[in-house]
Homo-oligomer: A and B are copies of this chain.
């Protein structure tokens, strides 16, 4: 998946580092872990809209990759003496809400959501990771490692929007809605978890930069919309 560019990342590279035992790190791993479980079930559900077996297999492979990432995070949390299932509980409602409010109604919407949603998650989390010690940042980066499936999505969406400008408009709106819901839910999560705000602030050179954080997410989102042929 595409993520913030190297230049964007370097802007935050000189920020002060938080210690690896900052309580926000457990929260970060837990919200990431629940995100993988939620994504697994969402992909399995949305695969029902696939037009053929090949599409269903692609969705199943992506879902299985999410579980591989979940297991990384579970192991990291266990290594820190934290029970992953208990730790995830407080993030369930925000992530479930995101998925409930962005339930695709077509196969193309499901594909766009997979691509854009995964990339948005990567933007949020990788920017945060930049302010964290390497041992923590490495876990985050591994859990967000690009899967090999995104090219299948890009090809299918581009082909569809090239054929139909109506599809292009619909999917562009859909993509903006995904961004809006993701930011809304991210803000809910931050409002309820001061430990996570510490992490974001550390990764973005201070609280005055929090707006800049969301601006950068918006900018990379636009880049992805271009990749998909939506703008």
What's the least CB distance linking A63 to chain B, in Å? 7
The answer to whether A37 and B63 have CB atoms under 8 Å apart is no
Q: How far is the CA of A85 from the CA of B61 in the complex (A)?
A: 14
Within residues 50 to 90 of chain A, which ones have a CB less than 8 A from any CB in chain B?
Answer: 53-54, 56-57, 60-61, 63-64, 66-68, 70-71, 85, 88-89
Residue interface mask A18-60, B partner, CB < 8 A = 1: 0000000000000000000100110011010000011011001
What's the least CB distance linking A85 to chain B, in Å? 5
What's the least CB distance linking A193 to chain B, in Å? 19
Asked if A92 CB lies within 8 Å of chain B CBs, one says yes
Contact of A60 among B53, B61, B67 (CB under 8 A): B67
The answer to whether B63 and A44 have CB atoms under 8 Å apart is yes
Given known A-B contacts A64-B63, A64-B67, A92 and B53 have beta carbons under 8 A apart:
yes
Given known A-B contacts A53-B92, A92-B53, A60 and B40 have beta carbons under 8 A apart:
yes
Q: Chain B residue with minimal CB distance to A34? A: B53
The answer to whether A64 and B54 have CB atoms under 8 Å apart is no
Q: Chain B residue with minimal CB distance to A89? A: B53
Within residues 90 to 105 of chain A, which ones have a CB less than 8 A from any CB in chain B?
Answer: 92
Q: Chain B residue with minimal CB distance to A71? A: B61
Q: Which residues of B contact A44 (CB under 8 A)?
A: 40-41, 44-45, 63
Q: Which residues of B contact A40 (CB under 8 A)?
A: 44, 60, 63-64
Q: How far is the CA of A85 from the CA of B60 in the complex (A)?
A: 14
Q: Chain B residue with minimal CB distance to A88? A: B53
Q: How far is the CA of A163 from the CA of B122 in the complex (A)?
A: 46
Q: How far is the CA of A60 from the CA of B40 in the complex (A)?
A: 7
Contact of A41 among B47, B66, B67, B88 (CB under 8 A): B47
The answer to whether B56 and A67 have CB atoms under 8 Å apart is no
Q: How far is the CA of A69 from the CA of B93 in the complex (A)?
A: 33
The answer to whether B88 and A60 have CB atoms under 8 Å apart is no
Q: How far is the CA of A92 from the CA of B56 in the complex (A)?
A: 13
Q: Could you show 18 A-B contacts with beta carbons less than 8 Å apart?
A: A37-B56, A37-B60, A40-B44, A40-B63, A41-B44, A41-B47, A41-B56, A41-B60, A44-B63, A53-B89, A53-B92, A57-B70, A60-B63, A60-B67, A61-B67, A63-B67, A64-B66, A64-B67
